Structure 1
Amino acid sequence: MQYTHLGRSGVRVSRLCLGTMNFGEMTDEPTSFQILDAAVEVGINFVDTADVYGGPQPPDMEKGFGLSEEIIGRWMAQRGSRNDIVLATKVYQPMGLGPNDRRLSALHIRRACEDSLRRLQTDHIDLYQMHHIDRFTPWEEIWQAMELLVQQGKIIYVGSSNFAGWDIATAQGAASQRHFMGLVTEQSLYNLSSRVVELEVIPACRHYGLGLIPWSPLGGGLLGGVLKKAASGRRAGPAMKEKIEQYRPQLEAYEALCEDLGELPADVGLAWLLHNPVVTAPLVGPRTTEQLTQTLRAAEISLSEDTMRCLDEIWPDPGGEAPQAYAW
């Protein structure tokens, strides 16, 4: 396994990040344990979750809420593997029906962190990520809450998720005024079929030294050989069928290129992300150990300049970076 720095921080993480959104909902606890064991065994030391993962969100909230964190916590307690991983979780999403059970008020950040620590059965979170921008809470309040958690040793680094480029700039400006490190990562939707973050988010990450953690790196399965799977009889859901028809010409060209390369489409899609120097680690969310093993090939693939140009032709970028993409 290859390793890189977590943004501009000194800590090093694996080039693939184990996403655990399926734990507790799509993947049962014994299988989740097997996936975590297999990930550590192959050298993956970066594990991502969120307080909201594992079950239904309000207003349902019947059972399983926060279960992903609980599963990881029990795994660490039983395996004694806390020091083997860089553990990331998130705050923002609704965790109850009350008016203060969500977003990024200092009150909710404090309560949510304590709850995550309890579920994870640990005394600290390595990367505490804001799951979304909060347009109603001032940065002075957010950073004061995060600074206190750092001072208390409950979190080490802070990251963002689903931020716009100007949100990153605003956050870092406010952090700098407080002589605080601020953000070290941004987690965004990014894959060959969804490249809008190349306009402003990626330039902002590069400027401020944030490592990008792409979520949905295969477009929800679109880039995982969906045409070949359909030809073999595997059925796709209505939403995927609609996407397939929308992108059919690109998919045909893409899967043909991958076949010429002798590589699986999923591996090429992940390898393409890893060629971007701003990317720290794509999030992979296997539901089985076999799926996890299949993703490891991506870290070994080196794509030629010709192949990168072909991929750009099949899946065009948004025109470059802003403002050059739409102005001189």
Structure 2
Amino acid sequence: MNMSKLTPDNKQLVLGTALWGWGIEREQAYQLLEQFLLSGGTMVDTAANYPINKRQEDFGLAVRWIADWVAHNGNSKLALTVKIGSTDNLGSPDVNLAPDDIDRASSILSGQFGSALSCVSIHWDNRSEDDVQGATIAETVEAMSRLERQGLGIGLSGIRHPEVYYKANPSLAQKWAIQVKENFKTHAARTAYEAWFPDAKYLAYGINLGGLKTEATKTNSSMELRNINIPHAFTEKLVEFINAPHEFEPRPTTLNELALAASFVNPALSGIVIGPRNTEQLDSTLGYWKLLQAQADKSKGQKIFNQLFEELPSD
């Protein structure tokens, strides 16, 4: 997938792998990947430190699984984004983002994935614009610029000071594919980036609040693994909308479909990263997405969901 084709008018679903090795076993992961590709999907997102389950022996497990799959399925249409920089999967802010680190990581990834490697993305960067760190960020951006000139897509995710990235090379402002946490509770990350990168490509993750369900949270669920708690009143309001009369079609019947619909009509988003736990969830998501592509009135939907956002209770 050419990252330049990723636009709000050509909104893409991206298969996420954050839970591969953390509630999703290898065979399940391959089933998800193969079913996604057979459905016509191409874009898959991973990170060098997935799964972030605080088990050091699992550092890089998702990348290794995908590399093994690619080695046996070389002719697939996979377009892989790999986020790099994090030095562990413990949730620490430590990164290796010097030019040599980036060049080494991208070289290894190119060797593992060949033409399947579509985009290399910076994953977490808390550095600021002081005399030392600002210069280091400029070097990071220059290394990413070289990758872009070589034909790779470039991305950002979890950047604390996007203004420093912009100032380091304004000519890249439209080139970045930026991943942001965006859902019914927040769009703060995108707002922070848009002040500097108004024309970048934005991909939302966490759209369904970590797997929010109307029923009680199940053991080993995504929400439990990530220790996510959503107030009951918030969930009630979303369920109320699903059951209330409204004019949006195709009508969402689950909270996941509601999140997909809101993301689909959001004109700021070029893609949505999904994280199904099993093939049944993937089937459901893909089926509803096709209905959205065929039936949804984006302009009308945007007005409907803007009103829903205004009515949701705050924390």
Query: What's 1:272 paired with?
Result: 262
1:77 aligned to 2:67? no
Query: What's 2:140 paired with?
Result: 142
Query: What's 2:43 paired with?
Result: 46
- Identify the match of residue 30 of structure 2 among 4, 29, 33: 33
Deviates more, 1:140-149 or 1:33-42: 140-149
Checking the alignment, whether the CA contact within 8 Å between 1:105 and 1:137 is kept in structure 2 is: no
Query: What's 2:237 paired with?
Result: 250
- TM-score, normalised to structure 1's length? 0.74
Question: Take 2:191 and 2:41, find their aligned partners in 1: how far apart are those partners?
Answer: 30
Structure 2, unpaired ranges of 5+: 128-132
Query: What's 1:323 paired with?
Result: none
Checking the alignment, whether the CA contact within 8 Å between 2:14 and 2:44 is kept in structure 1 is: yes
Percent identical residues: 20
Q: Matched residue of 1:250: which SS?
A: helix
Deviations 1:275-301 (A, max 9, x none): 122211110011212111111113422
- Identify the match of residue 192 of structure 1 among 180, 184, 187: 184
Checking the alignment, whether the CA contact within 8 Å between 1:160 and 1:183 is kept in structure 2 is: no
- TM-score, normalised to structure 2's length? 0.77
Question: Take 2:22 and 2:229, find their aligned partners in 1: how far apart are those partners?
Answer: 25
Q: Matched residue of 1:220: which SS?
A: coil
Query: What's 1:158 paired with?
Result: 154
Checking the alignment, whether the CA contact within 8 Å between 2:44 and 2:79 is kept in structure 1 is: yes
Q: CA deviation at 1:240?
A: 7.2
Question: Take 1:96 and 1:18, find their aligned partners in 2: how far apart are those partners?
Answer: 20
Q: How does 1:9-158 map to 2 (within 5 A)?
A: 9-10=4-5, 15-54=12-51, 56-57=53-54, 60-61=55-56, 63-82=57-76, 84-95=77-88, 102-117=95-110, 120-122=112-114, 125-135=117-127, 136=133, 138=135, 139-150=137-148, 153=150, 156-158=152-154
Q: Matched residue of 1:48: which SS?
A: strand
Change (3 A) 1:159 1:266: same
Q: Matched residue of 1:316: which SS?
A: helix
Change (3 A) 1:247 1:262: closer
Q: CA deviation at 1:94?
A: 1.5
Q: CA deviation at 1:256?
A: 2.2
Query: What's 1:284 paired with?
Result: 274
Change (3 A) 1:77 1:247: same
Question: Take 2:134 and 2:117, find their aligned partners in 1: how far apart are those partners?
Answer: 23
Which AA in structure 2 matches 1:41?
L
Q: CA deviation at 1:274?
A: 1.6
Which AA in structure 2 matches 1:72?
I
Which AA in structure 2 matches 1:145?
A
In the alignment of these two chains, the number of paired residues is: 293
Checking the alignment, whether the CA contact within 8 Å between 1:69 and 1:116 is kept in structure 2 is: no
Change (3 A) 1:266 1:35: same
Q: CA deviation at 1:250?
A: 2.1
RMSD over equivalenced CA pairs, Å: 3.6
Checking the alignment, whether the CA contact within 8 Å between 1:163 and 1:188 is kept in structure 2 is: no
Change (3 A) 1:304 1:89: closer
Change (3 A) 1:309 1:115: same
Change (3 A) 1:258 1:299: farther
Structure 1, unpaired ranges of 5+: 319-328
Question: Take 1:200 and 1:246, find their aligned partners in 2: how far apart are those partners?
Answer: 28
Checking the alignment, whether the CA contact within 8 Å between 1:212 and 1:281 is kept in structure 2 is: yes
Which AA in structure 2 matches 1:146?
M
Which AA in structure 1 matches 2:177?
T
Which AA in structure 2 matches 1:298?
W
Q: CA deviation at 1:219?
A: 0.9
Q: CA deviation at 1:14?
A: 6.4
Question: Take 1:117 and 1:105, find their aligned partners in 2: how far apart are those partners?
Answer: 18
Query: What's 2:130 paired with?
Result: none
